[in-house]
Structure 1
């Protein structure tokens, strides 16, 4: 978390657009901007996290035990998918269908992820969906799909 602190602070200040930062931090828009950051996960989670993760299903906001079977790459894939907006997922799905650069099932996954994003990730993608989602993002980026509305400084494909 110490590694993320400066990047998060800078994003809060930058997205506040001169507003009172302490008031800006209370806004949903601030939280959405912070969630859109591409913050790398360490290869092992530090002990102070205590092996818990936010429950993104029903009862949102409660803590549940982290799935110890998830690898750092799987956690990173889920984070990357959730850092992509609903509009971006829709644009990718439409672009893939129009250009033929994505298979039908890939367009379907992008559309599904757009629905999850539109509901503020009340339902998290499965590991399989997240891994496929990253593949889709990589294809879209490599082919120059016009979807990237990511925050400045966000590095996709890493």
Structure 2
């Protein structure tokens, strides 16, 4: 998540809180004004802390809205816990930093990921994830795949 997205999300929370505190402060008696300002300050601090805390947590793939149309992502790392989740670190097209995502646990998906990782190791390539944020899957194309090894450059005879 880029910092600008987090900033605008925080603004979307902060502006209504500040507006409500302003209205309450203008129309209320002195003790209620102090309470309104205290609640606003608490809400702003909680929103900021929650946003900063969430930056380090994997996002469920079903909640990805901004990059939902991505056709493919490069898998940087994966980790899974049977019965819990499959965690992925994906590098999206045009991005410089990978992002953490969580897939719901599925034995079939975990096995497909394991096969793609073994094939990538054998090919000397990385693993790619097709349509990472689509809930409807095309069964003809695997979710994870390892691109083939690029051909060797032609030798020049000269």
Question: Under TM normalisation by the shorter chain, which class is it?
Answer: under 0.3
TM-score, length-normalised on structure 1? 0.27
Name whichever structure is richer in helix by fraction.
1
Q: Which has the higher strand share?
A: 2
